[in-house]
Structure 1
Amino acid sequence: MTSTEDGPGVRRGTRRTAPEAAPPPGIRKPLPPRLFAVHGTNAETRWEALRGEDYLTPDDLFFVRNHTATPLIDAATWRLTLWGDALRGGPVAFTYRDLLGMPAETLTAFIECAGNGRRLYGEQQYQEAPGTPWRLGAVGVARWRGVRLATLLERAGMSDRAVALMPRGLDADYVEAGENLGRVRRPLPVAKALDDVLVAYEMNGRPLPPDHGHPARLVVPGWVGAASIKWLGDIEVSAERLESPWSTRLYRMHGPGHPPGGGPPLTRMGVKSAFELPWPARFEAGREHLLRGRSWSGHGRVVRVEVSEDEGVSWRPARLRDDRHPRGWVRWTLPWTPREAGNLRLLARAADETGAVQPDRAAYNLLGYRFDAVVRHPVVVT
């Protein structure tokens, strides 16, 4: 983590020149159909809307993942309370003004829903999975500003006995199939908390918008988005292991090839790539087009991206455009001239600095998490 602002600036265009339809219940910001695909209380960014945008995802294009509805919270009366048996002196509460008065740090990082790409299990692998039918638009990169969680834990008097934290949001209780699971919360190991986790109060140079966690949220770089709790209200600091439905039932890999009861709680996301194109995309034969896309990984910098127009028989290297932020994504381009009319699929495959490469097939699981296979993007050439 760095104490300087480490990302290109935010593009502040004039997309909002006409009145937009009201957002669905549960989301506060406008969700015009040309920019978002709406799935209940969730909104998926359309990748073609990112074409021509700068490195950071503008606030009004950032995807929304809500379990219930976006709450409106007054920063003046908001408190973040740290409590639990691994604090030396009992509960400690911090105000919004307290956070603003502490040493600030910035972090350029992506946040991605664990189910991003879920729809592709069915479309590409003929393995249907229930849940929000994200294609690839449940991801965004922002420049977050706030206070290191490690700083708050130190000021709250965390003892050496601490092994786990339980951050909890201030949104309403989540009810699934008639069962009240309580407010969204997910355990976080102390080691990760002390490493690079941020309690953020700004997004892209502005106070967090309501849909993205105002007044403050966690940003847990590289991990599944469920760990980056929005509307942060309290954090239990425990000398014992902690669990919640978001770590025991949800956000684990279930089904064939996985342990009974599910694999371990999901943490890091895999390597992914996406074209900045509509689905399907249309091109004119016989003329050159500039393909654009973005690739990212929860394990570190993306170092290589290749594109194929023949179902992976051959690959061409794309040109990487940006500084390769270890917690962000890289933009890339490739000139392409389709030779003849017809239907085909474009493939993009990325590799990160650990040597991880996107596989041809994703490891299937019943809840449709962590789709990381090479995506077959449909194209119509006329």
Structure 2
Amino acid sequence: MKAQESKGTSRLLVAIAVMAAVAALALALWGCAPQATTTMAATGGDGETTEETAASSMYPDFTDRTSGNFNDTFSTTDMLNAGNRGCNACHEDLWDVMNMKDGYNHILTHVGYDKALTYQDCEPCHRGHTALTGPYLGDLIHAAHYGSKVFQEANGNCWSCHAMNSAGNQGDYQLVLWDDFYDEPALGGYPNIDGNEAEQAWVDSRGFFGGFINGMTQDAAPSIDVTLDQSITDHDDVFIVNNWGPEVTEKNGEPFSFDAVCSEENTVSLTGVKNPRSFTKAELEAMPQTEFTMALACATNGRGGSLVSNIPMSGVSVAYLIEQCGGLADGVNAVNATGYDGWQAFPPMNLEASTYTEDAYIALKYYGEDLSQDDGAPMTLVSLGNPGARQVKHIKSIDFTQDETFFEGPMMAESDEPSPSYPINGMWFQEDGVTAKVGEPVTLTGAVYSWNRVVGDLASVNFSFDMGKTWQDVKIADQVTDFDPFQWVTYSLDWTPSKAGKYQVKLQATDANGVQMKKPVTLFVNVEE
């Protein structure tokens, strides 16, 4: 009897200890989060009670739970509060919060397509937090938000921006950003459910339509018509990056003039050739000109990002210039290039020589016109099929050399350091929340591209309407005659929904080697009756 009483007492003590630990954890989390401004009763001079409340917030109140672009279910609304999470739940366009109060302007000065900037546009560059990239934002953003009265009055807390996952083994947990996780099949509590038919069947049997707790409506056999093309970008939609722009008057203690960087009198020199020499713009204009179009994408363009443009150009082949210099010097296997603003194609080490000996040009015109200062006047070095960092604006010199080690294209495809790399990528031209009607076609558009000097040529564009369980594959060769792998591929997708609900339409692209985007790009579509 005493033994039983002892066991019962022990169990009771353990239960009390567990409850105390849970309560302590809850209090700790409650204590570290900004607290809502409470309504306080105050007595006026006449004895009447007045209500003193916080000023209305410019942000949605985190405690006003909503499903946002998800179907309104207990899981998405009451549990996940999916509509109140992530950067764009509060900031409609992150472009509006990029204006700094001190220092130079942000290097990104223009984005096209009427697209709002999202976390995905910022993260790749700012994850590098080293030379040539932006600063690490974790501490800056946490301090700015937790020190913001507006954020506190909106009842903002950790889960306004973050989510929890448990990918891997039991006991493995990851605190992730909501914007990295919201369109994952794992959202809601089954970390390994993507592609796992047994888990999906179990979840479906428990009342979650289609096998996912996120509750998205699905269409495994969509009625679609897809047209592919390689249309050029409207000039106004070309993104602009100036590493050191017109506002910079001093750089590293030395005078700096953007006008001088862009001067029409500047020349471009070639070294590491048998007869090194410089060329004026006038001399280049007198040489044979090549017209071409290339997909120019920022090296740190994020997943689904809009920092990509398909630009018609003309200029002189670097291979032709090498011939004018008597060919490459003996033993040359590497190269680097420098602009008048000080930008170098790859400062840590040299690049393989073929970066600029093959399919590379000194571009003199965009859209049939002389380069503007933002384009990289007076001359820009471009390397087709390579990321934006290899395109050197205001080109000053191309320096071939011999090196024991140099950076090769495939190395970039295999590495996510210091910044994530998306050698195959795509975008929707629409924003999340597109509205459609049952039985009526809705047109969804966008583009895909690959750095085909890093990975392979694009082969197909792929769409899914059921959380990636099935895919509708559209082969590029079937629609695009004379396909140019150095350009992007635009798509126009006409979809006639057969059922109301909120969908995640997923975009994927595949190259000739079967390599795909690292993660599909999602567009939320709300289909009404």
TM-score, with structure 2 as normaliser: 0.49
Alignment map for 1:1-382 (pairs within 5 Å): 25=105, 34=114, 37=117, 55-69=231-245, 71-72=258-259, 73-83=261-271, 86-89=272-275, 91-117=276-302, 120=303, 135-157=304-326, 158-171=328-341, 183-186=343-346, 187-240=350-403, 253=415, 270-299=423-452, 301-318=457-474, 322-323=480-481, 324-352=483-511, 354-359=512-517, 362=518, 373-382=519-528
Higher helix share: 2
Q: Deviations over 1:296-340 (max 9, x none)?
A: 222354332222111122223458654421111222233212334
Pair 1:209–1:279, CA change in 2 (3 A):
farther
Q: Deviations over 1:109-146 (max 9, x none)?
A: 111122222xx5xxxxxxxxxxxxxx411111112211
AA at the equivalent of 2:345: R
Work out the CA distance in 2 between the residues paired with 1:81 and 1:184: 14
Shift of 1:237: 2.3
Larger deviation, residues 62-71 vs 215-224: 62-71
Pair 1:64–1:240, CA change in 2 (3 A):
same
AA at the equivalent of 1:88: K
Shift of 1:214: 1.3
Pair 1:215–1:29, CA change in 2 (3 A):
farther
Work out the CA distance in 1 between the residues paired with 2:362 and 2:505: 39
Paired residues of 2:268 and 2:280 also in contact (CA < 8 A)? yes
Percent of paired sites with the same residue = 24
AA at the equivalent of 1:102: M
Paired residues of 1:307 and 1:315 also in contact (CA < 8 A)? yes
Shift of 1:191: 2.5
List alignment gaps of at least 5 residues for structure 2: 1-95, 100-104, 126-228, 247-257
Work out the CA distance in 2 between the residues paired with 1:28 and 1:310: 36
Work out the CA distance in 2 between the residues paired with 1:200 and 1:284: 46
Work out the CA distance in 2 between the residues paired with 1:226 and 1:115: 9
Work out the CA distance in 1 between the residues paired with 2:358 and 2:112: 38
Higher strand share: 1
AA at the equivalent of 1:378: F
Paired residues of 1:318 and 1:333 also in contact (CA < 8 A)? no
Q: What RMSD over aligned residues (CA atoms) do the two structures have, in Å?
A: 3.7
**Higher Cα Rg: structure 1 or 2?**
2
Pair 1:286–1:55, CA change in 2 (3 A):
same
AA at the equivalent of 2:270: L
Q: Deviations over 1:59-82 (max 9, x none)?
A: 321112333326334553111122
Shift of 1:32: 7.9
SS in 2 for 1:110: strand
Q: Deviations over 1:126-176 (max 9, x none)?
A: xxxxxxxxx4111111122111111122223432232222110122x5xxx
Q: Deviations over 1:23-42 (max 9, x none)?
A: 974679876893664989x9
Pair 1:349–1:375, CA change in 2 (3 A):
same
Pair 1:218–1:276, CA change in 2 (3 A):
same
AA at the equivalent of 1:105: T
Pair 1:221–1:32, CA change in 2 (3 A):
closer
Partner residue in 1 for 2:223: none
SS in 1 for 2:374: helix
Q: Deviations over 1:179-226 (max 9, x none)?
A: xxxx33323322332221111111122112221211111111111211
AA at the equivalent of 2:231: Y
Paired residues of 1:28 and 1:210 also in contact (CA < 8 A)? no
Paired residues of 2:336 and 2:344 also in contact (CA < 8 A)? no
Paired residues of 2:459 and 2:475 also in contact (CA < 8 A)? no
Larger deviation, residues 219-228 vs 325-334: 325-334
Work out the CA distance in 2 between the residues paired with 1:237 and 1:207: 27
Work out the CA distance in 2 between the residues paired with 1:199 and 1:338: 48
Paired residues of 2:110 and 2:241 also in contact (CA < 8 A)? no
SS in 1 for 2:524: strand
SS in 2 for 1:211: coil
Pair 1:306–1:34, CA change in 2 (3 A):
closer
AA at the equivalent of 1:315: W
Q: Deviations over 1:329-366 (max 9, x none)?
A: 222233212334432211122223x232425xx2xxxx
Work out the CA distance in 2 between the residues paired with 1:332 and 1:33: 15
Partner residue in 2 for 1:132: none
Paired residues of 2:506 and 2:521 also in contact (CA < 8 A)? yes
Work out the CA distance in 2 between the residues paired with 1:298 and 1:314: 26
Paired residues of 2:230 and 2:487 also in contact (CA < 8 A)? no
